[in-house]
Structure 1
Amino acid sequence: MLINYIKATKNLTLTNNGSSRSWRFVKVKTAGPVTFKSSANKIDFAQKAGLTNISVVNNDDGSNKGLADYAIDLSK
């Protein structure tokens, strides 16, 4: 559901979409690592936004598109 919202919105900003904190991640148990791709070298933005449970898996995902692999620990 969240991914569909992000795809439909296309341009998320903290000011327009994050200031009300109307959604959040909750602690869950997962069967394996939860990973996602995003712009490379942007972990500082996540940490400054208070997302301390995100880590870099690979700084370059090998696609030549400037993407990196990240992991999110949803148990925190």
Structure 2
Amino acid sequence: MKCFEITENHSTVATKPIKPLTPEQARLEALKRQKDNVSKALNAERKRQKVAKAQKSLQNALVEELPT
């Protein structure tokens, strides 16, 4: 695509104004975002703990190999 085609396509698209949400809809959207954020945080924490466990295991394996 050429630059003028991209500009031309974006300028011809009509955008609709976004209606404000009702308080009930806003609450549902906020709860959905909160659920998604908590899910991401939970997955990140699980990955962090998995990495920490693997690092500890690797460290223990290295310590066991070293002659004392």
- What is the TM-score of this pair, normalised by structure 2? 0.19
Bigger Cα Rg: 2
Which is strand-richer, 1 or 2? 1
By relative contact order (CA 8 Å, sep 6+), the higher-ranking structure is 1
The structure where helix makes up a greater share of residues is 2
